[in-house]
Amino acid sequence: MTKLDLSDVRGDHRILCDFVAPGSRVLDIGCGTGNLLELLINTRGVDGRGFDTSQKGVNEAVARGLSVVQGDADNDLAAYPDDAFDYAILSHTLQATMDPKQVLEQLLRIGKKVVVSFPNFGHWRNRMQLLFKGRMPVTDYLPYQWYDTPNIHFCTIRDFVALSEEVHAKVIKAEALDARGKRIAFNAPWWVWNLIGDQAVFLLERK
Amino acid sequence: MPASKLMRFGPENPLRLDEGTELAPWQIAYETYGELNADKTNAILVCHALTGDQYVASENPVTGKPGWWSMMVGPGQPVDTDKYFVICANVLGGCLGTTGPACTNPETDEVYGLDLPVVTIGDMVRSQAKLVEALGIETLFAVVGGSMGGMQVLQWASAYPEKVFAAVPIATGPRHSSQNIAFHEVGRQAVMADPDWCHGQYAKEGKRPLKGLSVARMAAHITYMSDESLHNKFGRNLQDRSAITFGFDADFQIESYLRHQGMTFVDRFDANSYLYVTRAMDYFDLAAAHGGKLANAFLHSDTRFCVMSFTTDWLFPTSESKDIVRALNAAGANVSFVEIESSRGHDAFLLDEPELFKTMRGFLTGAAKARGIPAPGNGD
């Protein structure tokens, strides 16, 4: 495993890369224009495939030479066979799906392991905004207003832990990231991460 | 017959046909562009559409027009003939040098006419595989094509997965739909209703069913364009007149345009060939040939696919391409899929569509890297 200089790379992407074994088969759901996919191919030598709802993003990714299809996580994941990939990755996409639980179940079916990153709605700044301003939180990470956000299903770290339990997934590893996208380098109970974690990355597998 | 490269296969090398018979002797006319590299890893087969030909990137000697895909194929183009060795062959049943109904039947020394067995997309691809083998190429770097050419790409990938490193089916489907068969039947009936068709024996009678073939082309041409492109191009504009004439002349520009399309088509195409090649498309149903499950056509495939469709193509709508993509995913194949925004309907794949070129160049460059052949130098 070569450690490359990933200082310019998005925080959750850096950790996602660490979670993925070199040379594995990977499906990146919600891959956008393929930044993470390219990073995984370049740093981990994966056989990478992508999937995104935005045709514009997909066209750009394919023109970059990546294997990406236009599709919708809520409807099109059913076409993939069981265990089709070593890793099914969902980076900052879960909160934008219509049915996060069903999507997570599909991921656990088509990926031997599942990596999910998401913004933590339970972060103290979000709680403060709601508590003191009485308005839905708008932050650097979550720049949308409530009425135009694509993020229709926010959750907190503890919500996600509960959902994992419900879909019979085992948490193999988890990391919380601070506001600068740096790993919070100490182990703490979920409630602490839930308060200070800006985002989280989970590695799951079927129980 | 125009001078194309010609590969002849004698009685010792018959072509097995899906119909159950064997064709021999037979021949296939083709053009090549660029150079085959030393380890023979850079060959791309371009499959042409219904009324296309082998002159993909060079002047068609019959019409004097530039190659039908010269924006896509050529030096420095997305299918870069400075890097790749490009082969394009006239399809079986065609009329530009490959064995077709206008060729002489060696058994009777007369023109085949309807005595030629009905051919399929599978037969076309089998004939191309024999050509590729005769050229000494074991594996094609890519097979590329739109519409009926795209059907051939799918058939190639399904029948010869080990011979196809990358496949680019464009504006196509895994089967010919009922609506598409219906349009083809209208065209065939127009040909057969022409008294000069003479039950397919027009060559013997010294006649040509030009009116019927022309009407067939007019009907088909409508299906290649979108409502939007017709509206933008012609609207209800009148042709060389300021008012309607209360008659059946070509008052409207669209009428005049279609008549022109029909009339120029008959100069370059054989009526019986039109029957054969449309039939081949009608019979195409890749899922049916694999137990009703399209994914079975691509099981264990190592081929890299790039599927493309166009938003206003109603002949082969995006949903058909998505069926292909879903099946490829189900088969665990490596697939990319791009839907391109265009107002120009099915014909878009032959036109100047920058997104199409960009996708093709990007996909081929990525595949070339994976295959270890130098990528086109001026990739964007």
Structure tokens at B295: 């994914």
Q: What is the pLDDT of residue B183?
A: 97
Q: Do B338 and A81 touch (CB under 8 A)?
A: no
Amino acid symbol at A109: R
pLDDT digits (tens, 9 = 90+) for A121-137: 878 888 888 888 888 88
Partner A contacted by B366 (CB < 8 A): yes
Amino acid symbol at B9: F
Q: What is the pLDDT of residue A190?
A: 84
Amino acid symbol at A85: F
Task: Output the domain CATH number for residue A34.
Answer: 3.40.50.150
Question: Which domains can be identified in chain B, with CATH numbers?
Answer: 5-175+292-371 (3.40.50.1820), 180-279 (1.10.1740.110)
Who has greater pLDDT, A59 or B155?
B155
Residue A74 has pLDDT above 90, yes or no: no
Q: Do A67 and B336 touch (CB under 8 A)?
A: yes
pLDDT interval class at A4 (50, 70, 90): very low
The domain of A164 spans 11-121+152-206
B313 belongs to the catalytic site = yes
Regions of chain B where pLDDT drops below 50: 1, 377-380
pLDDT interval class at A1 (50, 70, 90): very low
DSSP β-ladder status, A25-29 and B15-16: unpaired
Task: Give me the residue label for tokens 């913004």.
Answer: A119
Who has greater pLDDT, A32 or A143?
A32
Q: Contact B39/B371 with Cβ under 8 angstroms?
A: no
Q: What is the pLDDT of residue A125?
A: 83
Whether A5 maps to a domain, the answer reads no
Peptide linkage before B25 cis (omega within 30 of 0): yes
Amino acid symbol at B270: D
> Mind telling me how many Å the CA of A121 is from chain B's nearest CA?
34
Across chain A, mean pLDDT equals 87
Residues from chain A contacting residue B367 (CB–CB below 8 Å): 65
Amino acid symbol at B142: A
CA B171, CA B153: separation in Å to the nearest integer? 11
Number of H helices, E strands in chain B: 10, 14
H/E run at residue A42? helix A35-44
Q: Do A79 and B326 touch (CB under 8 A)?
A: yes
Who has greater pLDDT, A71 or B346?
B346
Residues from chain A contacting residue B338 (CB–CB below 8 Å): 55, 58-59, 62, 70
Amino acid symbol at A53: T
Who has greater pLDDT, B219 or A72?
B219
Partner B contacted by A80 (CB < 8 A): yes
Residue in B330, B336, B355 closest to A79 by CB: B330
Residues from chain B contacting residue A72 (CB–CB below 8 Å): none
Residue A71 has pLDDT above 60, yes or no: yes
CA A72, CA A55: separation in Å to the nearest integer? 11
**Which residue pairs from B252-260 have beta carbons closer than 8 angstroms and sit at least 24 positions apart in sequence?**
B254/B230, B257/B233, B258/B218, B258/B221, B258/B222, B259/B214, B259/B218
Q: What is the pLDDT of residue A2?
A: 39
Residue A60 has pLDDT above 80, yes or no: yes
DSSP classification of residue B337: E
Q: What is the pLDDT of residue A7?
A: 57
CA B123, CA A34: separation in Å to the nearest integer? 39
CA angle, residues B317, B53, B46, in degrees to nearest 5: 65
Residues from chain B contacting residue A71 (CB–CB below 8 Å): 325, 337
Partner A contacted by B340 (CB < 8 A): yes
Whether A49 maps to a domain, the answer reads yes
User: CA torsion angle for A131, A136, A142, A144 (degrees, to 10)?
Assistant: -160
Q: Do B325 and A69 touch (CB under 8 A)?
A: yes
B319 belongs to the catalytic site = no
DSSP β-ladder status, A199-206 and A169-177: antiparallel
Taking only residues 143 to 172 of chain B, the set having a beta carbon closer than 8 angstroms to any beta carbon of chain A reads none
Residue A181 has pLDDT above 50, yes or no: yes
- Beta-bridged to residue B164, according to DSSP, are B140
Q: Contact B197/B191 with Cβ under 8 angstroms?
A: yes
Q: What is the pLDDT of residue B378?
A: 42
Q: What is the pLDDT of residue B137?
A: 98
Structure tokens at A161: 């832990």
pLDDT interval class at A56 (50, 70, 90): confident
Q: What is the pLDDT of residue A86?
A: 96
Nearest to A127 by CA among A118, A137, A117: A137
Helical spans, DSSP H, in chain B: 121-134, 148-159, 178-193, 202-205, 210-224, 227-233, 253-268, 271-283, 318-330, 354-371
pLDDT interval class at A166 (50, 70, 90): very high
* Cα-based distances in Å from A196 to A120, A125, B290, B312: 9, 9, 55, 49
Q: How many other C-beta atoms are found inside a 10 Å radius of the C-beta of residue B359? A: 25
Tell me the torsion sign for CA atoms A109, A110, A114, A116. negative
| Chain B residue closest in CA terms to A59 | B338
DSSP classification of residue B341: P
Whether A128 maps to a domain, the answer reads no
Does residue B198 sit in helix, strand or coil?
A: helix
- Is the entire prediction scored with pTM above 0.80? yes
> Mind telling me how many Å the CA of A67 is from chain B's nearest CA?
5
Domain count, chain A: 1
Q: Do B355 and A59 touch (CB under 8 A)?
A: yes
CA angle, residues B105, B108, B110, in degrees to nearest 5: 60
Structure tokens at A88: 């099914």
Whether A132 maps to a domain, the answer reads no
DSSP classification of residue B369: H
Query: How far does CA A46 lie from the centroid of its chain?
Result: 18
Q: What is the pLDDT of residue B380?
A: 40
Whether A3 maps to a domain, the answer reads no
Query: How far does CA B369 lie from the centroid of its chain?
Result: 28
Q: Contact B54/B7 with Cβ under 8 angstroms?
A: no
pLDDT digits (tens, 9 = 90+) for A109-125: 999 999 999 888 878 88
Q: What is the pLDDT of residue A8?
A: 64
Who has greater pLDDT, B137 or A7?
B137
Q: Contact B364/B166 with Cβ under 8 angstroms?
A: yes
